[in-house]
Amino acid sequence: MQQGRTQTTVMLGLAQTLSWASSYYLPAVLAGPISRAIGMSYATVFAAFSVALLVSAATGPVAGRLIDHFGGRPVLVASNLVFAAGLTLLSQATQTSHVFMAWAVMGLAMGSGLYEAAFATVVRLYGQEARRAITGITLFAGFASTVGWPLSSYLESAFGWRETCMLWALLHLVLGLPLNVLLPRAGPVAATPEADSAAIVHASQSVATGNQPLRRTAFLMAYVFAVSWFISTAMATHLPQLLQSSGAALAVAIGAAALVGPAQVAGRLAEYGFLKNAHPLLSARLAILAHPLAAVCLGLLGAPAVSVFAVLHGLGNGILTIAVGTLPLKVFGAQGYGQRQGWLMVPARIVQAGSPFLFGMAVAQWGTGALWFSSLFGLSAFLVLWAMRIKPSVSNV
């Protein structure tokens, strides 16, 4: 059983690395070439990407419900086909509307083929025992930017951006598709009364975590996830520019920003090892404080602390990625996990779509002072997590 679970984790981890590298991390490399070829502004390319994030927010609950009923394999297999279709459409774009259409299709794939779908897949297979599989998946996919950015850059310079999109589409068909096809088939769903989609997240029953009803806990959790994704996306988009604002040279800022990826993996290894027996709520509380602490270091020490900032932020973000999957599992249980997770992540996807623009305005106006903005958000999320009181009898549902 353990060997089969490890194999599933590896296959999902590799497939997730491909999916993230060919979608979320694609605009950072191809936005410039696409804007020049199509005759659209650089910002408009990212606006199309924001459309993909909004579409993925709408798709997530539907994909999660399908995974709850049929298992993750058919949904993830379909996502590979949709990824391939979206990338092919993007490669053939000749005007702005084509780019927006292609990214809207990509949004369908992102909502049904990224972390939330992978997490729901292993929860559907292993229930409460899925925590280590969730951590293992993020360990693999933590290298998506490390693989995706250099590979996309090389392919674009060697062949062109259109060919790069086509090659990523081909990889979904020859690599991602077989990996997901080989996933275990989920067993039949236990006979339970049909639940309304809104009821899963906005449960009105008075079952409590501490003195809090589950509905309130779900709202608080959704807020924490939205804050963490806002900060993560803001840093992924603007980190080199932000570090330069502290007085660091361009080469130093880029070198420090490159430490975020390895630091995220290190944080996930720490969760896998030192925090594996801790409640996910403790992991989330510790992780959400990493960004404000990093901001204090940069504010006090300036340019010499840019690497410290990047490492601390990366450590916290790596652990939070796992907590997004494991905390709802621990608090609400495995029943209906996929659909519930989809609803919990809707606010996160929405704020993620606006994060690059909003935080970019803050950086342009205040420089490193923009970190007060993100840090206050982080501290508010910590206070929300601190207010959660989870009874053991509930967390083991």
Q: Give the tens place of pLDDT for each residue, 363-381.
A: 878 888 889 989 999 999 9
Q: Give the tens place of pLDDT for each residue, 115-157.
A: 989 999 999 998 888 888 998 998 888 888 778 878 888 999 9
User: Of 171-175, 283-287, 358-362, where does the model show the most confidence?
Assistant: 171-175
Residues 235 and 373 occupy one common structural domain:
yes
Q: What is the pLDDT of residue 231?
A: 92
Q: What is the pLDDT of residue 195?
A: 42
Residues 71 and 168 occupy one common structural domain:
yes
Domain boundary among 181, 198, 233: 181
| 83 closest CA partner among 10, 147, 179 | 179
- Give one DSSP letter per residue of 282-307, joined into a string: HHHHHHHTHHHHHHHHHHHH-GGGHH
Residues 91 and 133 occupy one common structural domain:
yes
Residues 211 and 177 occupy one common structural domain:
no
Size (the chain), residues: 397
Number of compact structural domains in the chain: 2
24 lies in some domain: yes
195 lies in some domain: no
Residues 169 and 285 occupy one common structural domain:
no
State the CB neighbour count (10 A cutoff) for residue 102: 24
341 lies in some domain: yes
Separation of alpha carbons 96 and 38, rounded Å = 7
Residues 212 and 177 occupy one common structural domain:
no
114 lies in some domain: yes
Q: Give the tens place of pLDDT for each residue, 255-266.
A: 888 788 889 888
In this predicted structure, the answer to whether residue 208 has a pLDDT above a threshold of 50 is: no
Q: Please, which pLDDT band fits residue 224 given cuts at 50, 70 and 90?
A: very high
Six-digit token string for 154: 């090389």
Q: Once rounded to an integer, what is the mean pLDDT over residues 162-188?
A: 93
Q: Once rounded to an integer, what is the mean pLDDT over residues 330-334?
A: 83
Q: Give the tens place of pLDDT for each residue, 293-310.
A: 999 999 888 888 899 999
In this predicted structure, the answer to whether residue 205 has a pLDDT above a threshold of 70 is: no
Those residues with Cβ within 8 angstroms of residue 97's Cβ, 6 or more apart along the chain or in another chain: none
196 lies in some domain: no
For residue 288, what is the domain's CATH number? 1.20.1250.20
Domain boundary among 128, 147, 181: 181
Residue keyed to tokens 């809707």: 346
188 lies in some domain: no
Separation of alpha carbons 43 and 223, rounded Å = 27
User: At 308, which amino acid appears?
Assistant: V
Six-digit token string for 155: 């392919």
Residues 96 and 211 occupy one common structural domain:
no
Residues 157 and 290 occupy one common structural domain:
no
Residues 143 and 251 occupy one common structural domain:
no
Q: What is the pLDDT of residue 339?
A: 83
194 lies in some domain: no
Six-digit token string for 143: 């290298």
In this predicted structure, the answer to whether residue 209 has a pLDDT above a threshold of 50 is: no
User: Of 14-18, 262-266, 267-271, 327-331, where does the model show the most confidence?
Assistant: 14-18
Q: Which domain holds residue 20?
A: 2-181
Q: What is the pLDDT of residue 190?
A: 54
- Asked if 161 and 69 count as a contact pair (C-beta separation under 8 A), the reply is no
Residues 231 and 116 occupy one common structural domain:
no
Domain boundary among 121, 146, 181: 181
Separation of alpha carbons 384 and 352, rounded Å = 19
Q: Give the tens place of pLDDT for each residue, 29-65.
A: 888 899 999 999 888 888 898 899 899 989 989 999 9
In this predicted structure, the answer to whether residue 391 has a pLDDT above a threshold of 80 is: no
Mean pLDDT of the chain: 85
Residues 176 and 224 occupy one common structural domain:
no
State the CB neighbour count (10 A cutoff) for residue 158: 9
202 lies in some domain: no
Q: What is the pLDDT of residue 110?
A: 95
Residues 169 and 67 occupy one common structural domain:
yes
Q: What is the pLDDT of residue 390?
A: 62
- Give one DSSP letter per residue of 134-149, joined into a string: HHHHHHHHTTHHHHHH
In this predicted structure, the answer to whether residue 199 has a pLDDT above a threshold of 70 is: no
Tell me which of 145 and 383 has the higher pLDDT: 383
